[in-house]
C-alpha cells in the first residue's frame, strides 16, 4: 500500500507555495526557474522527457503537461526526433505592450476589400527559405492579392500570401470574408497562431510592381513581411505586403509597463 503517493510527497522539487499545487505545474515552475537562471541555456536542448521523468520521478504525462506550459509561454520549442530546445530565457518581457496593434490590424482588414488575382502552387527554394525560413522543398500555395479601400479603384497594397497546401481552401474565401487570412486558418483548421514576426523595410517599386499598384516605378514603398508560427514554431503562413508610401504608413503605439523598468 506504500505505492500510492498519488498526490502526496516523494517529489524532490522544492514546494514553494503554501498550497499544494499540482505536480506538473510545480515542475513547470521549477524548469522555468532553471531556464531563467541560465542552468538551461538558450539554444541548447533540455533533458529529454524520459530523462526528466526519471530525474523527478513522475510519469511522462506529467512531464509533458509541464513542458506544454513552457511551450505555451514560448520558452521552449519541441520537435519530434530532435528534442526540446530552449528558445528564450524569460517568459516574454512585458516591457512594452502593443496597444491596439492587433485591433487596428483587424479593423484595417475589415475596412478594406481584397481581390485575389491568381493562385499557384510552388516548392520552397533556397531563396524563399532564406527570406522566410521555410524548409526548402516544402509545398506552398501562393496567392497574389490586391487590397482596396472602399470606393477606391487604386489599390492600397499588393500582397503575396503563402499558406500550406492543407489550408489552401481559405484562399478562395478571402474575397468575401472580411477577416484576416490567418484568422480564417485558425477558425477553419483549428490551428493556433502563437507568434507573429514582422519585418518592415523600405523598397523602391519595380516596374511590374508599379504597374500592379498603378504607381510610379522607383517610388518608395513599405515592404511588410509577416511570419505566422504556431506553438511548435512551424510556419503556418507568410504574407508579404507592398504599401506605396503615399497611401499608407505604419503606426503603432506602445505603452510602457511601469512596474519593472528596473531591468534596463
Residues making contact with a copy of itself (CB under 8 A): 17-19, 25, 28-29, 32, 36, 69, 72-74, 90-103, 106, 165-166, 183, 186-190, 192-204, 218-222, 243-245, 249-256, 258, 260, 264
Least CB distance to DNA at residue 148 (A): 39
Q: Which does 198 bind (CB under 5 to 8 A by kind): DNA, a copy of itself, none?
A: a copy of itself
Least CB distance to a copy of itself at residue 260 (A): 8
β partners of residue 202: 222
Residue closer to DNA by CB (options 7, 153) is 7
Residues 6+ apart with CB under 8 A from 1: none
Counted residue by residue, the chain has a size of 264
| CA 20 to centroid of chain Cα atoms | 34
Residue closer to a copy of itself by CB (options 122, 203) is 203
Q: Output b/e per residue, 186-196; b: 16+ Cβ within 10 A.
A: beeeebeebeb
Under 8 Å between Cβ of 263 and 217: no
Tell me the CB-side half-sphere exposure of residue 22, using CA atoms within 13 A. Answer: 9
Which stretch of DSSP H or E encloses residue 122? strand 113-123
C-alpha cell at 187: 477558425
| CA 26 to centroid of chain Cα atoms | 27
Based on the shown chain and the rule CB under 7 A, indicate whether residue 112 belongs to the binding site for DNA: no
Based on the shown chain and the rule CB under 7 A, indicate whether residue 229 belongs to the binding site for DNA: no
Based on the shown chain and the rule CB under 7 A, indicate whether residue 123 belongs to the binding site for DNA: no
Residue closer to a copy of itself by CB (options 54, 257) is 257
Q: Which does 241 bind (CB under 5 to 8 A by kind): DNA, a copy of itself, none?
A: none
Let me know if 18 is exposed, middle or buried by CB neighbors in 10 A (0-12, 13-18, 19+). Answer: exposed
* Total binding residues toward DNA, as defined by CB under 7 A: 31
Nearest C-alpha neighbor of 241 from the set 207, 211, 208, 203? 203
Q: Which does 79 bind (CB under 5 to 8 A by kind): a copy of itself, DNA, none?
A: DNA
Under 8 Å between Cβ of 235 and 134: yes
Residue closer to a copy of itself by CB (options 145, 191) is 191
Residue closer to a copy of itself by CB (options 189, 234) is 189
Nearest C-alpha neighbor of 171 from the set 185, 158, 192? 185
Least CB distance to a copy of itself at residue 2 (A): 26
- The pattern of x and - marking residues 45 through 64 that bind DNA according to CB under 7 A reads -x-xxx------xxxxxx-x
- The pattern of x and - marking residues 76 through 105 that bind DNA according to CB under 7 A reads --xxxxxxx---------------------
Under 8 Å between Cβ of 205 and 154: no
What does the binding site for DNA look like in residue numbers (CB under 7 A)?
A: 3-7, 20, 22-25, 46, 48-50, 57-62, 64-65, 67, 78-84, 232
Amino acid at each position: 500500500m506504500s505505492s500510492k503517493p498519488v498526490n502526496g510527497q516523494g517529489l524532490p522539487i522544492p514546494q514553494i507555495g503554501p498550497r499544494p499545487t499540482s505536480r506538473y505545474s510545480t515542475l513547470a515552475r521549477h524548469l522555468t526557474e532553471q531556464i531563467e537562471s541560465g542552468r538551461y541555456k538558450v539554444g541548447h536542448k533540455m533533458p529529454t522527457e524520459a530523462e526528466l521523468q526519471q530525474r523527478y520521478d513522475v510519469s511522462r504525462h506529467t512531464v509533458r503537461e509541464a513542458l506544454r506550459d513552457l511551450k505555451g509561454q514560448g520558452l521552449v520549442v519541441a520537435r519530434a526526433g530532435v528534442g526540446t530546445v530552449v528558445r528564450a530565457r524569460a517568459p516574454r518581457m512585458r516591457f512594452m505592450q502593443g496597444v491596439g496593434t492587433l485591433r487596428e490590424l483587424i479593423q484595417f482588414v475589415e475596412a478594406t476589400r481584397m481581390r485575389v488575382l491568381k493562385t499557384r502552387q510552388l516548392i520552397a527554394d533556397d531563396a524563399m527559405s532564406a527570406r522566410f525560413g521555410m524548409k526548402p522543398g516544402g509545398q506552398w500555395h501562393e496567392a497574389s492579392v490586391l487590397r482596396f479601400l472602399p470606393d477606391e479603384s487604386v489599390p492600397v497594397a499588393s500582397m503575396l500570401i503563402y499558406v500550406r497546401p492543407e489550408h489552401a481552401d481559405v484562399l478562395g474565401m478571402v474575397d468575401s470574408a472580411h477577416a484576416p487570412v490567418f484568422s480564417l486558418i485558425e477558425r477553419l483548421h483549428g490551428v493556433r497562431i502563437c507568434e507573429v514576426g514582422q519585418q518592415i523595410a523600405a523598397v523602391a517599386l519595380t516596374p511590374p510592381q508599379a504597374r500592379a499598384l498603378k504607381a510610379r516605378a522607383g517610388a518608395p514603398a513599405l515592404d511588410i513581411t509577416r511570419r505566422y508560427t504556431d506553438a511548435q514554431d512551424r510556419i503556418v503562413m507568410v504574407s508579404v505586403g507592398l504599401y506605396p508610401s503615399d497611401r499608407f504608413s505604419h503606426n503603432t503605439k506602445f505603452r510602457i509597463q511601469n512596474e519593472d523598468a528596473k531591468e534596463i
